[in-house]
Structure 1
Amino acid sequence: MTSATRTPRRPKIVMMEADHVRLSRLAAAAASRMPEVSDYLSVELERAKIVRRGQVPAKLVTMGSTLTFRDEQRGRTERVTLVFPEDANIEEKRISVLTPIGAALIGLTEGQSITWPNRTGEIHCLQVLSVEDTVAA
Structure 2
Amino acid sequence: MQQTAASASSERPPIHLIDADYDLIAGLALSIERRSPELSKMLLDEIDRAEIYARDELPDDVVTIGSEVEFVETATGATRRVRLVLPAEADIENDRVSILTPIGAGLIGLRKGQSIDWPCPSGRPRVLQILNVTRPVAP
Structure 1 and Structure 2 fold alike (TM over 0.5) = yes
Aligned match for 2:64, one of 62, 65, 68:
62
Distance in 2 (alpha carbons) for counterparts of 1:111 and 1:131: 10
**What residue in structure 2 maps to residue 73 of structure 1?**
75
**What residue in structure 2 maps to residue 42 of structure 1?**
44
> CA RMSD of the aligned region, Å?
1.6
Distance in 2 (alpha carbons) for counterparts of 1:14 and 1:61: 8
Q: Which runs of 5+ in 1 are unaligned?
A: 1-7
- Give 1:38's aligned amino acid: S
Structure 1 outlier segments of 4+, above 4 Å: 134-137
Given that 2:60 and 2:135 are in contact with CA atoms closer than 8 Å, whether structure 1 keeps it comes out as: no
Distance in 1 (alpha carbons) for counterparts of 2:44 and 2:132: 25
The percent identity for this pair of structures is: 45
Q: Deviations over 1:88-137 (max 9, x none)?
A: 00111000011111000000011110112233432110000000225568
Deviation of 1:9 (Å): 3.6
Given that 1:65 and 1:81 are in contact with CA atoms closer than 8 Å, whether structure 2 keeps it comes out as: yes
Q: How many residues align?
A: 130
